[in-house]
Chain A
Amino acid sequence: MKLTRFTPSFDLGRVADFDQWLRHPLTGFPAVGQLLGEFLPGAASGRLATDVYEDKDNYYARFELPGVKKEDVKVEVQDRLLTVSAERREKDGEKEQSYSLSRSVSVPENVKGDAIVAKLEDGILTVTLPKLEERKPKLIAVN
């Protein structure tokens, strides 16, 4: 009794991979997410892959954590370093397997450290890092 992967007629796996690499090259960015460790995204190797975004008010760091419960995620900020660690438990019949994943991302200076919030939804963790007020452009009304 077996389930095998169905491959339609040809496999474009390699081509598609390369394509993807072209679309999302590992562009360096100045402040958030100075990568620690190796440079390849490798969720399978125990290191979480991350996306970092910003808008006018916040920085956002996103991590994929499928199958991880809220209580098994730890988000810490210390010395301008945001660390996300997650414990994933999987039941395989009677046995329970668990493995941990973590990732650190450096936090820019203009972040309100005490106002960071994290939300886990549909297997995606979004950490919102609010920017300090001073750095926002102030609109002055002309009288």
Chain B
Amino acid sequence: MNATCCSPSTQATPSVGVTETLQKPLYTVTGNTEAFEVRVELPGVTKGNVKIDLEDKILSIRGERQTSTPEGWKALHRELSTVGYQLRLRVNTPVDEDKLTANLEDGVLTLKLPVKEAAKPRQIQVQ
């Protein structure tokens, strides 16, 4: 499977009552028959501010930026976005939710999603 990556773009989540702007982080998906690996770039997000959900085959990752601008700092020039991140991916292969692991290091979240035993390809012995 090839790694896919996309350019950053913003997306708005249609939630009830509240309009919230979130940006879609850069991400890479790699995988084989054993497991998927999803790497998401979340600069500025600390461990406690990441929420990962896997529900109805939708893997959803939310990252809040707490440390956007310290108090008293006056912006002279801005290019970086300070809004939070949201990424939603449809998982079309059954994965073992209990064995899902996540690690956030240097602003990069690495998720490992092991493929369910039942969904792995089986070699059938020819008698």
Contact with B along A1-17 (1 / 0, CB 8 A): 11111101111110111
CA–CA, A113 and B94, complex, Å = 56
The listed residue (B10, B44, B58, B83) touching A13 by CB distance below 8 A is: B10
Would you give the shortest CB distance from B109 to chain A, in whole angstroms?
9
With a cutoff of 8 Å between Cβ atoms, the chain B residues found around residue A27 in the complex are 77-78
How many pairs of residues, A versus B, come closer than 8 Å at their CB atoms? 150
A55 x B72 contact (CB < 8 A): yes
The range of chain B's interface size is 35 or more
> Size of chain A's interface in residues, with CB distance under 8 A?
51
With a cutoff of 8 Å between Cβ atoms, the chain B residues found around residue A33 in the complex are 76-77
Contacts A5-B88, A10-B14 known; A52 to B76 CB distance under 8 Å?
yes
With a cutoff of 8 Å between Cβ atoms, the chain B residues found around residue A52 in the complex are 75-78
Query: Within 8 Å of chain B (Cβ to Cβ): is A114?
Result: no
Query: Within 8 Å of chain B (Cβ to Cβ): is A123?
Result: yes
With a cutoff of 8 Å between Cβ atoms, the chain A residues found around residue B127 in the complex are none
Query: Within 8 Å of chain B (Cβ to Cβ): is A135?
Result: no
A16 x B11 contact (CB < 8 A): yes
With a cutoff of 8 Å between Cβ atoms, the chain A residues found around residue B59 in the complex are 3
With a cutoff of 8 Å between Cβ atoms, the chain B residues found around residue A81 in the complex are none
Extra contacts, 20 of them, besides A3-B29, A67-B41 (Cβ < 8 A), are A1-B1, A1-B36, A2-B1, A16-B10, A17-B9, A27-B78, A44-B26, A51-B78, A53-B74, A56-B72, A66-B42, A67-B106, A67-B107, A68-B106, A122-B44, A122-B45, A122-B106, A123-B42, A123-B43, A123-B107
User: Which of B's residues lie within 8 Å of A, judged by CB?
Assistant: 1, 3, 6-14, 21, 26, 28-31, 33, 36, 38-39, 41-46, 58-59, 67, 69, 72-81, 83, 88-93, 106-108, 115
